A and B are shown apart, each in its own frame.
Chain A
Amino acid sequence: MEILITDKQLDEVLEDVFDVYGYDFKSYAKASMHRRINRLIAIDKFPSFTEFRYRIRTDKNYFHRFVEEITVNVTEMFRDPAFFTALRTEVLPAIATKPFIRIWHAGCSTGEEVYSTAILLKEANMLHKTLIYATDLNPDVVEKAKSGIFQLDRMKQYSENYIASGGKADFSSYYTAKYDRVIFNEELKKRMIFATHNLVSDGSFNEFQLILCRNVLIYFDKDLQQKVFDLFDKSLDSLGFLALGTKETLRFSPFIGRFRQLDKMKIWRKIS
């Protein structure tokens, strides 16, 4: 029978991680944490929970692996094409008149979403006057995002998503293929700024016309979600937009009165 950690053991590991390394995962939704840690204990073949806990406390390199494995980095380009259609047709036109635009991808993972947004901006002729800030708590994924290098075998799916989102150009014109990888054009990358930023502990660092934070909040408990909404509220321009994942909502937040939701989309616009 595999090792399934108890709630108490989970709390112990998360306390250790906070004490030793300063990373605060204590307000994350527990069910996913349970599953990721059970899985990590199994794939790294720890004979007991105690040994797993000891290793994390004492081995900094293993702690990096822990962060890499318990955070979920799965992402793709133009995921949920209908969402990108709404960005293209409703959000970008509304901010296009600004002389200078700032966009924040919070929890950008390996960057697929960031390059998708850059492509939309280029096609709307707005890229040259936009800066896209892309942040994640995990330094490894931020490095990957910065490189702009992705697997060639994913491009067929991404190209289909791009077309489904209303893309009319030749998708392959945005990258150069080399062996089994592709590298996205410098023109897109030039307008991106990558940094590590922890939504739990780091504050607001600029004012944005659009903040995208998709499929990150599902991993937080309700209190932490509120804290992050507060951070986004502070970081949004007076008529700025906030975009969440398909199953995430601002509905239960006290801020809801100050935002108006776009028809059927997980996009809200600040109205005051």
Chain B
Amino acid sequence: MAQDQLNSKIVVIGGSAGSLEALLDLLPALRVDLDIPIVIVMHRKTAPGSPLVDVLAIKSSLPVCEVEEKEPVKNGHIYIAPADYHLLFEADHTFSLDVSEKVNYSRPSIDVAFESAAEVYSDGLTGILLSGANADGTHGLKVIGELGGVTIAQDPDTAEISYMPEHAINNHVVHHIMNVQQLAVYINSL
């Protein structure tokens, strides 16, 4: 799938417990004219009308919205994966949703989104794994690396819950370890 794709860039961020804090610091630090899509896959409660999108939108000067199925992945937008669906990427750069079995006790699963994004965006993809108490994301980062993308874990010393980024680091699937300020600088340079 990767071969025939344009070389477009995208950042996919996976987070679990404790990652909201990191995002609330990261989003305001992103430049207003950022010209790539940012996609956030967060484990969360399935309560309808969950205020996650609103909470993040307040902190961001870029438009923040929950993913709708078959919607085009647009530059300069911040997308949030909806609760209770896996998030997938189509080769024509649109989103798909999927209600299949939970992966790592999670739906959305970060592994699922990372793997699907890697198949479509290959070396245009940066995968970032934030705070969490789950092993989700490690396998996805591995696939991103194998398909030519860049993998980053939040510095476990700065993460509310270090398990998730640490798990990825210990499995040798992480290219860079960064705190939130460094993440912002990195994304702003893309």
Are B69 and A1 in contact, CB atoms less than 8 angstroms apart?
no
Are B98 and A35 in contact, CB atoms less than 8 angstroms apart?
yes
Interface residue? A53 (CB, 8 A): no
Residues on B lying within 8 angstroms of A by beta carbon are 1, 3-4, 48, 68-70, 82, 84-85, 88-91, 96-101, 112, 115-116, 119-120, 146
Residues on A lying within 8 angstroms of B by beta carbon are 1, 4, 6-7, 29-32, 34-36, 72, 74, 80, 82, 215, 218-219, 221-222, 225, 245-249
- What is the bound-complex CA distance between A245 and B48, given in angstroms? 13
Q: Given the known A-B contacts A6-B1, A248-B69, are A31 and B99 also in contact in the complex, defined by CB atoms under 8 Å?
A: no
Q: Whose C-beta in chain B lies nearest to the C-beta of A7?
A: B1
- What is the bound-complex CA distance between A74 and B101, given in angstroms? 7
Chain B interface SS verdict (over half): loop
Question: Which of B68, B89, B100, B101 has most chain A Cβ within 10 Å?
Answer: B100
Instruction: For B88, list chain A residues within 8 Å (CB).
Output: 29, 31-32, 35
Are A7 and B4 in contact, CB atoms less than 8 angstroms apart?
yes
- What is the bound-complex CA distance between A247 and B81, given in angstroms? 11
Can you add 13 more A-B contacts, CB < 8 Å, to A7-B4, A31-B90, A74-B100?
A1-B146, A7-B91, A29-B90, A29-B96, A30-B91, A32-B96, A32-B98, A34-B1, A36-B100, A218-B98, A247-B68, A248-B69, A249-B68
Closest CB of chain A to B48's CB: distance in Å? 6
Checking B48, B70, B115, B120 against A80 with a beta-carbon cut-off of 8 angstroms, the contacting residue is B48
Are A31 and B112 in contact, CB atoms less than 8 angstroms apart?
no
Q: Whose C-beta in chain A lies nearest to the C-beta of B90?
A: A31
Closest CB of chain B to A84's CB: distance in Å? 12
Checking A4, A29, A74, A225 against B119 with a beta-carbon cut-off of 8 angstroms, the contacting residue is A4
Jot down 23 A-B pairs with beta carbons below 8 A, ordered by A. A6-B1, A7-B91, A29-B88, A29-B90, A30-B90, A31-B88, A31-B116, A32-B88, A32-B98, A32-B100, A34-B1, A34-B119, A35-B115, A35-B116, A72-B98, A74-B99, A74-B100, A74-B101, A82-B48, A218-B98, A218-B99, A219-B98, A246-B48
- What is the bound-complex CA distance between A7 and B138, given in angstroms? 25
- What is the bound-complex CA distance between A215 and B85, given in angstroms? 10
Are A247 and B98 in contact, CB atoms less than 8 angstroms apart?
no
